[in-house]
Structure 1
Amino acid sequence: MPEHCAAHSCSNRRTIANRARGITFHKFPKDKDVRKKWEVALRREGFTASASSVLCSKHFKQGDFDRTGQTVRLRDGVIPSVFSFPVRLKRLEKGRATSTYRRAKERLPVASQDSQEMATSHPQPQPNDDHGYALPASPSALKSRLNEALARVESLEREKKNAVAREKRAKTAVKSLLGDLKNIITEGCQ
């Protein structure tokens, strides 16, 4: 099994120190389409993942992990997206080239950094605050709500798993008691 991450210029190795830091290693998926997407995301020319190739957890977003059990797993269909590529491997972002888009972009006011800091430190109430289904005004507020919701879902999944395990233990105990009760009744009748 490989001892190092397959990502470009990533030096993470499977060591006890990295494990203590919370770095986990994940094999490339067996599904050919998803595996191909992983390989493309790596942007390594001529790279083909072997059955034992791995990527470290540093190349995935926090929301990509399923931490409900003892083993940290990736959610289904997740593609690695956190990389620090050299300039030659970075893709240029294509912007819209329509004249309408350019005119709209030119009309947008450019806010100073101080006003942005004040807006984030003292958010003003928005008209949609009284509706729970409405989106928050800022992307950061939306992201924090999403992270809270994901944390709540993980917590509820753990609670559900524990409740199912308790129910299974209780059923086993009831079956055992019923068996003992049958034995006591048959012995009493004899």
Structure 2
Amino acid sequence: MVKCCSAIGCASRCLPNSKLKGLTFHVFPTDENIKKKWVLAMKRLDVNAAGIWEPKKGDVLCSRHFKKTDFDRSTPNIKLKPGVIPSIFESPYQFQEHSYSVMDSPKKLKHKLDHVISELEDTKESLQNVLDREKHFQKSLRKTIRELKEECLISEDTARRLDVFCWECCQESTE
């Protein structure tokens, strides 16, 4: 089973090529005081227990949540220095901006709905203007084709092809 970083918003996975990319994964400390500091630094809540999240035996944090100075690189296997606390995390407040994390009041929802409806009406009006301009352009183009044919500047066959092409293009854009 692939291990995933336990930090909120982190998509790091422990894959065979992770080490080659400089990404390492670290189990939570067995020392309860340091483990508690790790968990508090993460600011991760357990929604089901309505409290602070508790790591399980196999849970890990990736190296992205530690400073470069937190690592002991004197051995071939990169390790964390004793007593180090992770300190690099996305702000948990950014996740509260999404509609799925905080329910808005009915008044605020109504305001948002009114805004969306207004934008939709503006978009419909804009689309209708584009379609009207396209019809006008199509009529103008057909008139130009007819005039070119009447003045013998294009052949009957070319005029027919252009007219068909013009009609097909306008049909495709309205579908």
TM norm structure 2 = 0.48
After TM superposition, the score normalised by the length of structure 1 is 0.44
Which of these two proteins has the greater Rg computed from alpha carbons? 2
